Structure 1
Amino acid sequence: MTATETPRAGARERTAALPGVLLAGAARGALTTLATVLAIVVVWTVFLRLVNVSPLVAKTPLDVWDHLVAGPDAAANRSALWPLLVRTLADAGLGFALGLIPAAAMSVLFYFSPAAEQAFLPTVTAFRAVPMVTVAPTLALVFGRGAAGTAVIGIAIVFVPALLTMLRGIRSAPRADLEVCRAFGGSRWTAFVKVALPHAVPTWFTAARITVTTSIVGALLAEWLASGAGLGGQMMRDANEFEFARLWASVVVLTTVCVAVYQFLALLEALVRARMGASR
C-alpha cells in the first residue's frame, strides 16, 4: 500500500463506521432520555411528598398518566393536546432557525472583521441584559400577535446566546494550526475552512442544543403574551380555569420533547463529526 493509499483507506474505514456511530448515538440518546424522564418523575414525586400543596393544584405522575394514557378520557385528551403541541413546536422551530442561522453568519462576519465585532457586539450583548418578559409585549405590539410577532420574540431569545457561543467556538482554533496553514500559502478563508470551522463544530452544536430549548420557552412566552395559540395559550387558560391536570400534562409533554430534541441534536453532532473525520 502506498503512502497516498493509506489516508484513503482510513477515510473509507471511517465512512463505513458511520452507521455504527449512528446506532450507538441513537441508543445512547434513548437511554439518556429514559433516564432523564425517570429522574424527573422521582424528583417530582419526592417534592410533592415533602411540600404541603393541595392535590387540586399539584398533580402527581400518576395523575398525568391517567390524563394522557390510562384514564377514560385519555384518547380525547391526547387528541386535544397534539395540535397545540404541533403549533408550539412550529413557533419554536421558526424562532430557532431564524435566530440560529443569522447568529452563525454574524459570528463568521465577526471572525473576518474585528471592526464589525467592536462596533456591534457590545450593543448585542447589552440587549441580552434586558429581561425578555419586559420586551416581549412591546415586540408583540410592533410586529403583531401573529406568526411574525412570535418569530421575532423567538429570534430575540435565541440570537444572542447562539452568537456568543458560536463566536467563542470559532476563536477556539489553535493559533499554531492557523499559522501553519498560512505559512503554506493558505488564505484566511482557507484557514477558516480547514482549521477554525472544524474546531468550532462542537461549540456550534452546543449553541444549538442550548438554544433549541430556549426557543421552546420563547414560543411559550410569545403564545402567553401575544398570540394565545399553542400550548402556551392553552396553559394560561388552564391555569385560569383550574384545569391543573391538563396543565401538568402539557408541562410533562413539553419537557419530554425538549429532552428528545436535545438528544437528537447530540446524535446529529456525533454524525457530523464522524463524517468530517471521514472526509479528511
Structure 2
Amino acid sequence: MLAIIVTCVLWTLILEIFKVNTMIGKRPWDVYRFLFVGDGATQNRQTLGADLLVTVRDAGIGYVAGLLTAFILALLFCFSPILENIIMPTAMVLRSIPLVVMTPLITLIMGIGQKSVTTLVIIVVFLPALANILYGLRNVSGEHRDVIRAFGGNALTLLLKVSLPGSIPSLFASARVSIPSAVVGAMIAEWLSTGEG
C-alpha cells in the first residue's frame, strides 16, 4: 500500500513541478476515473485488457525466443571462439543502437505485423542475455577444469558437468532481467510499427 501511495505522490509531483498539461500527463485521479467511475469505464477496462493481452503475447513470444537463442549461441561460443569473434562485435554494435531508431528499420525489413514486433523483442532480450549466460558458462574455476581433465574428460564433459550447472544463476538472472526489456521492446514496436497492443 505504501508503494502505491508513494508512486501516486511522485507521479503527481512530477507532473505538477514540470507543469505538464492534463491532455498529455494524466493525474492518478484521472486514470482512476477513466477506469472505474467515469462514463464508459467498463468499456475502457475491456479495451485496455484486450490491448494488454496483445502486448503480453508479443513480449512473451520474443522473450522466450530471445532467451532460447541466447542460450544456444552461448553454448556454441563455448566450443567455437572463432564464431564468438565473428558474432559478438555485431551484437555489441546492435545493442548500442536505440530502440526508437531500430524499430523503423526492422519494420522496413520485416514488414508491419507480428514478425517485426517479435524480431525487435528478440534483439532486446537476446543481447544482454547472451553476455550474461556466456559469462556464467565461462565462470569455471581452474580446479574444476583440472579435475575434469585429470579424469579424462573433454570440453563436452566440462560443459555438461561443471559449466551448465554453474551457469544456472546467470541463466535465471538473465530471465528475470529480460522481462522488463521484453515488455518495453514490445510496446515500442507496437507503438511505432503495428499500432496494436
Q: TM-score, normalised by structure 2?
A: 0.88
Partners of 1:38 and 1:182 in 2: CA distance: 58
Out of 64, 89, 110, the position equivalent to 1:143 is 110
**2:131 alignment partner AA:** L
Tell me the equivalent position of 2:149. Answer: 182
Out of 96, 101, 111, the position equivalent to 1:134 is 101
Which segment drifts farther, 192-201 or 88-97?
192-201
Tell me the equivalent position of 2:46. Answer: 79
The aligned runs of 1:151-190 (5 Å cut-off) are 151-190=118-157
Partners of 1:36 and 1:187 in 2: CA distance: 52
Distance 1:71 1:115, change over 3 A: same
Distance 1:38 1:179, change over 3 A: farther
Out of 69, 74, 92, the position equivalent to 1:125 is 92
Tell me the equivalent position of 1:48. Answer: 15
| Structure 1 position 101 matched with structure 2 position 71 | no
Q: May I ask how many residue pairs the two structures share in their alignment? A: 197
Tell me the equivalent position of 2:177. Answer: 210
CA contact (8 A) 1:173 1:200 kept: no
Shift in Å, 1:49: 4.3
Q: Gaps spanning 5+ residues in structure 2: where?
A: none
Tell me the equivalent position of 1:250. Answer: none
Q: TM-score, normalised by structure 1?
A: 0.64
Tell me the equivalent position of 1:116. Answer: 83
Residues 223-249 of structure 1, C-alpha deviations (whole Å, 9 max, x = no match): 12211111xxxxxxxxxxxxxxxxxxx
Shift in Å, 1:35: 6.2
Distance 1:199 1:221, change over 3 A: same
Shift in Å, 1:115: 1.9
Report percent identity of matched pairs.
37
Q: Gaps spanning 5+ residues in structure 1: where?
A: 1-33, 231-280
**2:159 alignment partner AA:** F
Shift in Å, 1:161: 1.4
**2:146 alignment partner AA:** E
Tell me the equivalent position of 1:64. Answer: 31
Tell me the equivalent position of 2:196. Answer: 229
Distance 1:36 1:144, change over 3 A: farther
RMSD: 2.1
Which segment drifts farther, 137-146 or 62-71?
62-71
Partners of 1:128 and 1:73 in 2: CA distance: 42
